[in-house]
Structure 1
Amino acid sequence: MTFTVKITNPYPKGSVKELLEKRLLIPRKIRHFLRTKKHVFINGEMINWQSPVNTGDLIELIFDDSDYPTKTIPMGNKDLADCLYEDEHLIIVNKPEGMKVHGNEPKEIALLNHVSSYTGQTCYVVHRLDMETSGAVLFAKNPFILPIVNRLLENKHIQREYLALTAGQFPEKSLVFKERIGRDRHDRRKRVVDQKHGQTAITQVSLVRHCANHTSLVKCRLQTGRTHQIRVHLAYHGYPLIGDPLYNQHTAGRLMLHAYQLSFTHPLTLKKIKVQARSDSFEKELPK
């Protein structure tokens, strides 16, 4: 797979080496290939590795198979990719409930395959939603951008906000849940609060309104991304999600959890990106 990346440098002045290593997170081996093949151009000219790169300079990087080996996956149905945002490097789509983000088997078709068909190229998962959860999901369109957005995710620079319908009348305007989460030793599908051995998990919850049938609509913002984090935290505190097949014994219908907003600063342009995802099925199930 040969592809060229062109960006207008949004960063402060620095050397080519600093740009590739610290800003663009290009692995050492690939930086070596770029250097030996002379595949780095600044403003259309081949450069010295210590040459300065100024804000506004045009950067051109050429990658081939020895840098990023070709990866192919089965193409899905492009009509099932509900695009919310797209540029040369990233795409955000609105996932329906009941669809996996990626398959567990090589030939299994999931949202990743539909998005790849929509873009005409193999895409890469940045973060995941549970199969039962709907909403905004971010994908990388090439292997170059993937580690850059992964760092944004790890550093909590990608904000993910959810709407959730819970059983019970939520008691306060806002709360922060910090219980650690680990695997359930008795059911491999589930997670549990495990303060001793679990991983750090932080969920900010704010009340939107109390609803009919003794339920509450809340907003949840993740500071960490543990499996089933919102579902586990809310159930642990006595407010399980309506429609949750794992953590709510008295449940029916769809899981009432929707990733309604995704926002971050684009790492290659430094522009603010914010998208909101509608869900007709979620809104239809909300009590008045």
Structure 2
Amino acid sequence: MQYTITIPQAFPEMTVKEVLEDYFLIPRKIRHFLRTKKHVQVNGELINWQSTIRPGDLLSLTFDQDDYPKKSLPAGQKGVIEVLYEDEHLVIVNKPEGMKTHGNEPTEIALLNHVSTEVGATCYVVHRLDMETSGAVLFAKNPFVLPILNRLLEDRKISRTYLALCQGKIAKDQWVITDKIGRDRHDRRKRLVDNRKGQTAETHVTLQSHHGRNSLVNCQLKTGRTHQIRVHLSHHGHPLIGDPLYHPQKAPRLMLHAKTLSFQHPFTLETLTVTATSASFDRYLDSLS
């Protein structure tokens, strides 16, 4: 596979070696193959690895099958999911509630399988949503871009905001929850607040509106712990409506939806902001009016 990337104007000045090693995070073994096979060109010419990459340059990288062995997945179905954004390197889709992001078994069909079938390329999960949660999910379309997107996620440079309908009237317009989250030793499916041994977690909550005795809030994650929003709000007496784990009650679905996903595209440096909608979330919200 070959990729040609136009170096954007805002790209920092780097040598070819620095771009491949520090920015693209290409493993040492593959960088060695790129160099020995002369599979790196700038503006159609072979150049020294200490040469400087400049805005407007065309950087071409050619990878052999041995560099990134092809992964195969069981086929999903076309038309099952909504594609919100797609280019050569990544795809963002709108996940329906009730579907796993990826299967637990090699033969299990999940969102990942449907996405790969829809775009015609084997995709890779960058982040996941709980099965009961709907909304925007990011996938890498090739193993080359995967570590770059993973680093953006680890460095908290991918902004994720959620809509949540929770029980009780929240009085604060703004609320930052910083309780640490750990595993529930009595139930391996669940997490709980554990400020002594848990992992750091930070959720920014903004009140949107009240619906009867319930509150619609906007939640922005600064960390990505398992069940983070569900655990934080439940711990403070505001469990999510329809949460099967932390507050089982009659509701058509878990009222948590990943509404927006925003980050700087690693190759164009443009800010991508994608918004996902959910008809089932809106229908239940309207039924409370």
Within a 5 Å distance, the mapping from 1:48-87 to structure 2 comes to 48-87=48-87
Identity of aligned residues (%): 64
Equivalent residue for 2:253? 254
Letter in 1 for 2:202: I
Q: Are 1:245 and 1:251, in contact at CA under 8 Å, matched by a contact in 2?
A: no
* Counterpart Cα distance in 1 of 2:174 and 2:38: 54
Equivalent residue for 1:9? 7
Equivalent residue for 2:133? 133
Q: Are 1:126 and 1:140, in contact at CA under 8 Å, matched by a contact in 2?
A: yes
1:249–1:110 CA distance, 2 compared to 1 (3 A): closer
Equivalent residue for 1:276? 275
* Counterpart Cα distance in 1 of 2:119 and 2:63: 19
* Counterpart Cα distance in 2 of 1:251 and 1:173: 27
Equivalent residue for 1:235? 234
Is residue 174 from structure 1 mapped to residue 180 from structure 2 by the alignment?
no
Equivalent residue for 1:44? 44
The secondary structure found in structure 2 opposite 1:78 is coil
* Counterpart Cα distance in 1 of 2:94 and 2:249: 28
- Note the alpha carbon deviations across 1:147-204, whole angstroms, 9 max, x for none: 0011110111100000000000012001000011111101011001111111111000
Q: Are 2:173 and 2:207, in contact at CA under 8 Å, matched by a contact in 1?
A: yes
Structure 1: where are the runs of 5+ without partners? Answer: none
Letter in 2 for 1:217: L
* Counterpart Cα distance in 2 of 1:274 and 1:224: 19
Q: Are 1:97 and 1:133, in contact at CA under 8 Å, matched by a contact in 2?
A: yes
Within a 5 Å distance, the mapping from 1:56-205 to structure 2 comes to 56-205=56-205
The secondary structure found in structure 2 opposite 1:33 is helix
TM-score (norm 2): 0.97
The secondary structure found in structure 2 opposite 1:260 is strand
Letter in 2 for 1:74: P
* Counterpart Cα distance in 1 of 2:81 and 2:229: 25
Q: Are 1:181 and 1:192, in contact at CA under 8 Å, matched by a contact in 2?
A: yes
- Note the alpha carbon deviations across 1:62-81, whole angstroms, 9 max, x for none: 01122111111111002112
* Counterpart Cα distance in 1 of 2:147 and 2:43: 25
Structure 2: where are the runs of 5+ without partners? Answer: none
TM-score (norm 1): 0.97
- Note the alpha carbon deviations across 1:238-275, whole angstroms, 9 max, x for none: 00000001111434320000001000110110001001
Q: Are 1:76 and 1:114, in contact at CA under 8 Å, matched by a contact in 2?
A: yes
* Counterpart Cα distance in 2 of 1:194 and 1:237: 13
Q: Are 1:42 and 1:60, in contact at CA under 8 Å, matched by a contact in 2?
A: yes
* Counterpart Cα distance in 2 of 1:50 and 1:274: 35
Letter in 1 for 2:200: T
Letter in 1 for 2:129: L
* Counterpart Cα distance in 2 of 1:12 and 1:164: 39
Alpha-carbon shift at residue 25 of structure 1 (Å) = 1.1
Alpha-carbon shift at residue 137 of structure 1 (Å) = 0.3
* Counterpart Cα distance in 1 of 2:196 and 2:187: 19
Alpha-carbon shift at residue 92 of structure 1 (Å) = 0.3
Equivalent residue for 1:217? 216
Q: Are 2:242 and 2:248, in contact at CA under 8 Å, matched by a contact in 1?
A: no
Q: Are 2:115 and 2:123, in contact at CA under 8 Å, matched by a contact in 1?
A: yes
The runs of at least 4 consecutive aligned structure 1 residues that moved more than 6 Å come to: none
Letter in 2 for 1:206: T
Equivalent residue for 1:27? 27
The secondary structure found in structure 2 opposite 1:196 is coil
- Note the alpha carbon deviations across 1:77-113, whole angstroms, 9 max, x for none: 0211210000000100000000000000000000000
Q: Are 1:244 and 1:251, in contact at CA under 8 Å, matched by a contact in 2?
A: no
